[in-house]
Amino acid sequence: MNVKLSQKQIGQRITELRKMKGLSQEDLAKSVTISRPSLAQIELGNRGVNVFELQRLSFILGFSLDDFMSESFSVSQDVAAKTEELIVKTDERISVPTLQVDKFINVLLYILERCAGKPNVGETVLNKLLYFSDFNYYELYEEHLTGAKYRKLPYGPVPQNLDTIIGQMMENGMIQRIKTAYYSMMQTRYIPLIKADLTELKASEKEVIDKVIEQLSDWSAAAISNYSHKDMPWLASKDGEEINYELVFYREAPFSVRNYGDEPEEQ
């Protein structure tokens, strides 16, 4: 007997079937002709599946629609009963972030320019603005903005090698480090001494950075740190370890910046 399944139940069943078949999300997404982020959202229960996608999934994963939609459906029993399997071979994409130092410097300078008059933008807030710029861009375009790697630290995500880059920028007269009083605390701030080279930034990159600045640059260090602690990439990472960019595809509201429901299929 068929029952009305929730998006979450459908997503869980698809996940279990995919893993039973030994397929990666990239493998299955390409076979269904949707993007990998869309499949990730389906598996999380954040995006619905239309009838055509469900038909393709049933063919690739080897299940009947009647069985799949029934209350008694069991992944282990139903999949094990199939004697013929479709083998899908694809080259799984591995996107390894590689720091583009010039791009990182210009993004940092641009953020400092835009936030120059804001007394709350010390090191903690600056780190988070860089983090959300990088990770939001990756979620939207599946490409790295600066290629910076971030670690999970107690106060939130922090770009690696930041101290070295900051030191070089000060030596080259690009920025100045100052200590200022902010309420009852002393904080470290950076003042830009030169303008960012905007020719280093694509329009799409600048747009993402601008949106992050508009949304978060007025927040206090405590508020933006607490917010970053609820973002899936930070939550799913281990203390002190590198944060995997791929985790952005498991984001939920209000962190997700990509409209998965209306995303066109890949051809």
CATH code of the domain covering residue 39: 1.10.260.40
> Per the domain annotation, does 96 fall within a domain?
no
> Per the domain annotation, does 240 fall within a domain?
yes
> pTM here?
0.72
> Per the domain annotation, does 263 fall within a domain?
no
What is residue 266's predicted lDDT score, i.e. its pLDDT?
47
Mean pLDDT for the stretch of residues 62-88: 61
> Per the domain annotation, does 139 fall within a domain?
yes
What's the mean per-residue pLDDT of the chain? 86
> CA–CA separation, 87 vs 60, rounded Å?
8
> CA–CA separation, 145 vs 223, rounded Å?
25
Same domain, 232 and 143: yes
Identify the DSSP state of 244.
P
Same domain, 145 and 205: yes
Q: Which residue has the tokens 């009305």?
A: 4
pLDDT over 70 (residue 261): no
> Per the domain annotation, does 194 fall within a domain?
yes
For residue 178, give the nearest of 186, 211, 103 by alpha carbon.
186
Same domain, 106 and 161: yes
> Per the domain annotation, does 207 fall within a domain?
yes
Percent of the chain clearing pLDDT 90 (strictly above):
51
* Residue numbers of the domain that contains 150: 101-250
> Per the domain annotation, does 138 fall within a domain?
yes
Same domain, 65 and 168: no
Confidence of residue 1 (pLDDT cuts 50, 70, 90): very low
Mean pLDDT for the stretch of residues 7-11: 89
CA-to-CA separations, 251 to 6, 136, 139, 213, in angstroms, rounded = 19, 10, 9, 20
Confidence of residue 103 (pLDDT cuts 50, 70, 90): very high
Same domain, 226 and 139: yes
Burial class (CB in 10 A: 0-12, 13-18, 19+), 131: buried
Same domain, 246 and 154: yes
Same domain, 233 and 152: yes
Same domain, 68 and 176: no
> Per the domain annotation, does 163 fall within a domain?
yes
Contacts for 150 with CB less than 8 Å, ≥ 6 apart: 131, 134, 135, 157, 158, 159, 160, 242, 243
SS3 192: strand
pLDDT over 50 (residue 7): yes
> CA–CA separation, 69 vs 190, rounded Å?
57
Contact present, 66 and 5 (Cβ < 8 Å): no
Domain count, the chain: 2
